[in-house]
Amino acid sequence: MLYEPEEVAELLQVEPRTVANYRLEGRLLAKQVNKRKFMYEGSAILNLMTSIEEHHYDA
């Protein structure tokens, strides 16, 4: 299933701009559906959430 940036932002409790930053940093993989629009796979979101959670516990 593919998710809109706004949906991902809501799941991660961040702003949509942060989702775009994660994509640009390579932390969140996305599929480009047209020149300006990106969609995010559930597995990529889960991987990022796991990474964030692990980093949180390591700190």
Q: 39 - beta bridge partners?
A: 31
**pLDDT band at residue 53, thresholds of 50, 70 and 90?**
confident
CB 12 within 8 A of CB 48: yes
- Dist CA 18 CA 1 (whole Å): 21
The pTM (predicted TM-score) of the whole model is 0.86
Q: Is the dihedral of CA 36, 37, 43, 46 positive or negative?
A: positive
pLDDT of residue 56: 72
Containing structural domain, residue 20:
2-58
Tell me: the pLDDT tens digits for 5-51? 999 999 999 999 999 999 999 999 999 999 999 999 999 999 999 98
pLDDT of residue 18: 98
Q: Helices in the chain by DSSP H: which ranges?
A: 5-12, 16-25, 42-58
CATH of the domain at 25: 1.10.1660
Give the pair of three-digit tokens for residue 55: 């980093």
Q: How many domains does the chain have?
A: 1
